[in-house]
Amino acid sequence: MVDAIIIGAGQAGPPLAERLTAAGMSVAVVERKLFGGTCVNTGCTPTKTLIASARVAQMARRAAEYGVVLDGPVRIDMARVKARKDEVSGRSRQNVERWLRGMPNCRVLQGHARFESPGSVRVGDELLTAERIFLNVGARAAIPDMPGVRDVDLLTSGTILDLDHVPRHLVVVGGSYIGLEFAQMYRRFGAEVTVVEKGERLIGREDPDVSDAIRELLEKEGVTVRLSANCIRFARHADGVEVGVNCTSGTPSVVGSHVLLAVGRTPNTDDLCLDRAGVVTDSRGFVTVDDKLRTNVPGIWAMGDCNGRGAFTHTAYNDFEIVAANLLDGDPRSVDDRIQAYALYTDPPLARVGMTDEAVRRSGRRALVGQRAMTRVGRAVEKGEAQGFMRIVVDADSQEILGAAIIGPGGDEAIHGVLDMMYAKAPYPTLQRAVHIHPTVAELLPTLLGELKPLE
C-alpha cells in the first residue's frame, strides 16, 4: 500500500511525484519503457536536435549569400547527426530516471501496469494499491487502417529517429505539424521529399494564408507538396514503396525509398485494463476528464497526451500544475483557464496563440487586425530570413487580445509577449505602449497594434 501510484514517467508524472513526496506521501512510479515520455525520447528533444543540425546544413549552403566562402559542397554525416541526437536525448532520459530514483519516499518500478480494480494496479507479479492513481501514459503514432498499410515497411515519427542514413526519397504522408518538420529537415539533409496530404491545404486547422506561407517556404527549398490526396494507399515497389495519391493534378502515385506515416496520435490506454477500474474513455481511447483532470472514477486522474486535452509538453506539465494545485494547495486551477499556444518548428517557425482569424469571424465578434510581412521587419531582413509575416487580432469593443500568429525568425519566442498579455487579461493598448528592444522581431508587436484595421 502506497499513498499514490503514478503510471508513466512523462512530463507530468515526475514533477507530481516530487510534489507528493514533499508533502509526505509515499509514491510508486511505474514506467514500462523510457523515462521522460514522448518529449524526451521521440518528440521535442530528439526532433529539435535534428532540426538544429538541418539548419546548420542549410545555412552552410547559403554561406555565399553572407559573404562566407566554403571550399566544397556541404556533406551530411548522418551517423554523426544521429549520434548527437542520441546523446542529447539520452542525457535527458537519464536525468529524469536519476531524479526519480533519488527521490525520497518514491519507489520506481519498471514494467507494464494494468488495473485490477479502481484502487489497485498490477506490475508483473506485484500488486500495488493506493487511494490516488495518476495516469501519465502518453500517446504514440497512429497507424490507421489504410489500404496496403500492413503490406509495406513504413516509418513513424518514432522509428524514423533510428535512421543513420539519408533516404533517397522520403514520402511524408500527412501534411500537418509532425510531418512538415520531418519534411523540411530531411530535405535539408539532402533527401528528395514529397509531402502527401489528404486535405486541400497543409496544416488545415490554420488560417489559409498561414497554410500557404508554410507551403511556400517548403516548396522554395525543393519539397514537393501533393494535396487533395483522396485515395491514399500503399504497395510494394522495386524502388521502395508506392504511395497512391489520386490528387486533382499530377501523377496518380509517387514512389519513395522511405515512407513516413504522420497522420495523428493515439493514446497509450488500450492495454491498461481501464475497464476493470471503470475508467471511461472516448471513441478514440482518450481518458475522459473534467476541468481538474479527474476521471469519472474518484481517486483516478489522467494527465498529458492520454486525456486528449492537450498534445504538447507544455500542456502536460500544466496538467501536473493543475492537479497539484487542486490536491495540495487548495488552488482551484482549471484546464479551462489554458490559452491555446503552440509552434510548428519549421525554419522559420510558425508560432500561434489564441484564436485564428477564421475562428474570430465565426464567433461574430467585431474585431481588428494588424499584420506585417517579415520583409518589413528589420531583424528578419538583417538575418536574411524575411519569409513569413506576423499578425495579431483583437476585440474591437473589449480591447481583448484574441489571437496572434508569427511566421518568422524567433517567432516561437516573440509570441510570448502576446501570450503573457492574454493571461494577464490586459487590454491591447498595454502592449501597444510597451517599449521593446531594437532590433528584434517582438518590437513590431506594438507597431501592429498601432496599425489595426477591421477584420473582414
Rounded alpha-carbon distances, angstroms, from residue 109 to 97, 144, 304, 446: 11, 32, 20, 51
Look up 436 and say whether it is catalytic: no
What whole-number distance in Å separates Cα of residue 98 and Cα of residue 36? 11
Among residues 347, 371, 295, the alpha carbon closest in space to that of 135 is found at 295
Q: What is the pLDDT of residues 234-292, one digit of tens each?
A: 999 999 999 999 766 678 899 999 999 999 999 999 999 999 999 999 999 999 999 99
**Res. 310: pLDDT tops 70:** yes
- The pLDDT value recorded for residue 230 is 87
- The pLDDT value recorded for residue 246 is 78
| SS3 assignment, position 389 | strand
Element housing 177 (H / E): helix 177-189
Q: Are 193 and 183 in contact (CB under 8 A)?
A: yes
> In which band, very low, low, confident or very high, does the pLDDT at 229 lie, cut at 50, 70 and 90?
very high
Catalytic, out of 165, 237, 258, 438: 438
Q: What is the pLDDT of residues 38-47, one digit of tens each?
A: 999 999 999 9
Average pLDDT of the residues of the chain:
97
- The pLDDT value recorded for residue 231 is 86
What whole-number distance in Å separates Cα of residue 228 and Cα of residue 195? 11
Pairing outcome for strands 169-173 and 258-261: parallel
**Res. 294: pLDDT tops 90:** yes
Q: Are 163 and 82 in contact (CB under 8 A)?
A: yes
What whole-number distance in Å separates Cα of residue 165 and Cα of residue 153? 16
- The pLDDT value recorded for residue 251 is 81
Pairing outcome for strands 350-354 and 341-344: antiparallel
Q: What is the pLDDT of residues 59-94, one digit of tens each?
A: 999 999 999 999 999 999 999 999 999 999 999 999
- The pLDDT value recorded for residue 248 is 67
